[in-house]
């Protein structure tokens, strides 16, 4: 019996063995890479709840870009990210060799982007000129430059609008630039509505959702069959259903199934599946749910518990009635919880949980 290492990766940002349900988005992006400057797939904002697979999708897009010869500059939107992008661009330009680009860059004397969070005006000018040089070099080589910025919900507004202004400028000049952002949906909507960068409103907005259960089932089936692990059809189905199609749970449950198979002679019986699901759910509660709830106040918790009385989407007004709270108070909590990524508003005046298993968790803790 082959003893392959466990392929599942239940860790934030880790690359999963198979990126389920994202082919369409990636195709669009690859098409954009071939078209080059100004293609819609090259200006995209990816949004979705924690653990839905934003970072994994960004990584895959980066790989695709590199395969096409593009230079990739990937950053997380912590303070100073604009300067760090500048620094990386400078290194790439140097690497492009002692040709005209190398000489021009020394003439510019560009260095030290990383010292401050917000670039002072003269650095901003340098930043843009540096970007133009690099992009012109790459355009000649028929490739391009991709920026990816993760977690933009926490970005400094000034840095973000500077980056947007520069990228807009590059696009206007027909330079081969791509920009992919990822962040939590509500916070990203706020950012766009605040008018941080009007130009970004034209970006393609991809809201990631759970994968289809059938796809998860097929993926589990393939993975286990290839590894010589035996499991019945109805048990695969049960495991797939327990994931709810939620990427982090797909990895957690897959990982635990694999461990069960290792101790059960490469066979997964109903008991093994039950245990794997239970272990994965505990882990999910600890890592995702409790972390997400750690910043919730007692009042937030009251609101959430009132929501958990329903089985699905609920009108925010009903929560107000249950809590005996005025509508402005309800609106206040609703906004806070949406911004925290705990709940979402699937329709006007409606709310639902944004994290799978949160409802069940709240019910369990209530019944304790
Ligand atoms: N499309 C997918 N199919 C299967 N697993 C995925 C997929 N996308 C992400 N994952 C896995 O889900 C988990 C969360 O992904 P991550 O990209 O960190 O989410 P986010 O950035 O949205 O919080 C990781 O363990 C990752 O390997
Ligand atoms: Mg992430």
How many whole angstroms from 287 Cα to the centroid of ligand 2?
A: 14
The 10s digit of each residue's pLDDT in 255-295 is 999 999 999 999 999 999 999 999 999 999 988 899 889 88
Q: How many residues does the chain have?
A: 368
- Confidence category of residue 185, pLDDT binned at 50, 70, 90: confident
Strands of the chain, DSSP E? 43-47, 71-76, 145-150, 177-183, 204-207, 230-231, 267-268, 314-315, 343-344, 350-353
Binding site membership of 270 for ligand 1 (Cβ less than 6 Å)? no
- Confidence category of residue 165, pLDDT binned at 50, 70, 90: very high
Binding site membership of 19 for ligand 1 (Cβ less than 6 Å)? yes
Nearest bound ligand to the CA of residue 14 = 1
How many whole angstroms from 18 Cα to the centroid of ligand 1?
A: 10
**What is the model's pLDDT at position 118?**
66
| Nearest alpha carbon, ligand 1 atom 6 | 247
Domain borders along the chain are: 23-207, 213-292, 295-367
* Cβ contacts of 190 within 8 Å, gap of 6 or more: 339
The 10s digit of each residue's pLDDT in 103-121 is 555 444 445 565 455 677 7
Closest residue by Cα to residue 79 from 151, 171, 130, 7: 151
User: Does 23-207 carry CATH code 1.10.260.40?
Assistant: no
Q: Is 60 exceeded by the pLDDT of residue 297?
A: yes
Binding site membership of 254 for ligand 1 (Cβ less than 6 Å)? no
**What is the model's pLDDT at position 106?**
47
Which residue among 208, 215, 251 is best mutated to probe the pocket of ligand 1, counting the most ligand atoms within 8 A of its Cβ? 251
Binding site membership of 12 for ligand 1 (Cβ less than 6 Å)? yes
More confident residue, 124 or 169: 169
Is-contact 21 60, C-beta < 8 A? Answer: no
Binding site membership of 120 for ligand 1 (Cβ less than 6 Å)? no
| Structural class in CATH, domain 213-292 | mainly alpha
How many whole angstroms from 50 Cα to the centroid of ligand 1?
A: 9
Which residue among 8, 20, 22, 53 is best mutated to probe the pocket of ligand 1, counting the most ligand atoms within 8 A of its Cβ? 53
Residue 233: HSE in the Cβ half-sphere, 13 Å Cα cutoff: 1
Compute the distance between CA of residue 219 and CA of residue 1 in angstroms, rounded to an integer: 21
- Residues 212, 215, 217: CA angle, nearest 5 degrees: 110
How many whole angstroms from 263 Cα to the centroid of ligand 1?
A: 26
Nearest bound ligand to the CA of residue 54 = 1
| Nearest alpha carbon, ligand 1 atom 27 | 16
**What is the model's pLDDT at position 339?**
79
Binding site membership of 58 for ligand 1 (Cβ less than 6 Å)? no
How many whole angstroms from 254 Cα to the centroid of ligand 1?
A: 13
Q: At 70, list the tokens.
A: 């593009």
| Structural class in CATH, domain 295-367 | mainly alpha
**What is the model's pLDDT at position 250?**
98
């Amino acid at each position: 019996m082959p003893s392959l290492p466990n392929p599942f990766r239940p860790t934030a940002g880790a690359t999963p063995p198979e990126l389920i349900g994202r082919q369409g988005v990636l195709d669009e992006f690859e098409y954009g890479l071939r078209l080059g400057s100004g293609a819609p797939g090259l200006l995209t904002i990816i949004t979705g709840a924690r653990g839905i697979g934003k970072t994994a999708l960004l990584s895959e897009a980066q790989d695709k870009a590199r395969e096409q010869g593009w230079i990739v500059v990937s950053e997380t939107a912590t303070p100073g990210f604009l300067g760090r992008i500048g620094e990386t661009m400078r290194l790439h330009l140097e690497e492009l060799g002692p040709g005209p680009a190398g000489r021009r860059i020394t003439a510019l004397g560009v260095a030290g982007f990383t010292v401050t969070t917000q670039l002072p005006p003269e650095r901003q000018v340098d930043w843009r000129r540096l970007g133009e040089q690099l992009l012109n070099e790459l355009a000649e080589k028929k490739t391009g430059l991709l920026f990816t910025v993760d977690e933009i919900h926490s970005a400094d507004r000034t840095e973000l609008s500077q980056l947007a202004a520069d990228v807009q400028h590059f696009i206007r000049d027909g330079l081969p630039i791509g920009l992919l952002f990822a962040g939590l949906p509500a916070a990203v909507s706020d950012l766009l509505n605040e008018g941080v960068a009007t130009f970004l409103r034209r970006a393609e907005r991809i809201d990631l959702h759970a994968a289809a259960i059938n796809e998860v089932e097929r993926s589990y089936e393939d993975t286990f069959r290839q590894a010589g692990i035996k499991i019945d059809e109805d048990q695969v189905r049960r495991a797939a259903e327990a994931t709810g199609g939620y990427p982090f749970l797909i990895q957690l449950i897959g990982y635990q199934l694999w461990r069960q198979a290792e101790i059960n002679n490469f066979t997964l019986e109903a008991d093994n599946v039950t245990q794997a699901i239970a272990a994965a759910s505990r882990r999910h509660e600890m890592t995702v749910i409790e972390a997400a709830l750690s910043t919730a106040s007692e009042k937030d918790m009251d609101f959430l518990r009132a929501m958990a009385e329903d089985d699905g989407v609920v009108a925010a007004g009903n929560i107000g009635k249950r809590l005996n709270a005025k509508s402005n108070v309800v609106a206040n909590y609703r906004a806070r919880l949406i911004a925290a990524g705990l709940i979402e508003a699937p329709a006007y005046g409606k709310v639902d949980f944004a994290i799978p298993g949160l409802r069940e968790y709240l019910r369990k803790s209530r019944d304790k």
